[in-house]
């Protein structure tokens, strides 16, 4: 497991290749020898878009620098908080405490199952 890190990434450049828009992400990962479960959070409240936490399953070789590589993959799931409301959703359903725990454990289980499948090939 890697402790959460904060990264600021350039989202847009001007015509002189100077950054004009950045995005701040909070990332952590759980890794096996083959796959990594990357958990990426972003506070989008400045753009009035809320907050989100995305879960990605990526080859470990792609996440060594915790960079923008997960942008090339679709998330397994996302926890989303719209606007300034204090409620989160997952798969368009309210993210209750029970659902939070269940979905978090399912993400870890998926990492272990997929790694086992890859190792048996």
For residue 8, what pLDDT is reported? 76
**Joined tokens for residue 119:** 């190792």
Of 14-23, 44-53, 71-80, 83-92, the range with the lowest mean pLDDT is 44-53
**Joined tokens for residue 59:** 């080859």
User: Residue 75: what are its φ and ψ, rounded to 5°?
Assistant: -70, 150
For residue 2, what pLDDT is reported? 64
For residue 104, how many other CB atoms are within 10 A of its CB? 16
Residue 112 pLDDT > 80, yes or no? yes
Which stretches of 63-104 are assigned E, i.e. beta strand? Answer: 77-81, 88-90, 93-94
Per-chain mean pLDDT for the chain: 85
Average pLDDT over residues 72-100: 89
Task: Tell me the β-bridge partners of 57.
Answer: 37
Residue 18 pLDDT > 70, yes or no? yes
Q: How far apart are CA 17 and CA 21, in angstroms?
A: 11
């Amino acid at each position: 497991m890697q402790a959460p890190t904060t990264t600021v990434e350039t989202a847009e450049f001007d015509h002189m290749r100077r950054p004009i828009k950045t995005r701040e992400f909070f990332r952590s990962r759980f890794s096996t020898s083959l796959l990594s479960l990357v958990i990426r959070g972003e506070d989008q409240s400045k753009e009035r878009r809320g907050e989100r936490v995305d879960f990605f399953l990526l080859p470990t070789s792609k996440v060594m620098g915790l960079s923008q590589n997960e942008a090339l993959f679709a998330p397994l799931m996302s926890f989303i908080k719209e606007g300034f409301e204090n409620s989160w959703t997952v798969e368009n359903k309210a993210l209750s405490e029970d659902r939070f725990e269940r979905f978090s454990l399912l993400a870890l289980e998926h990492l272990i199952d997929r790694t086992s499948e890859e190792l048996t090939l």
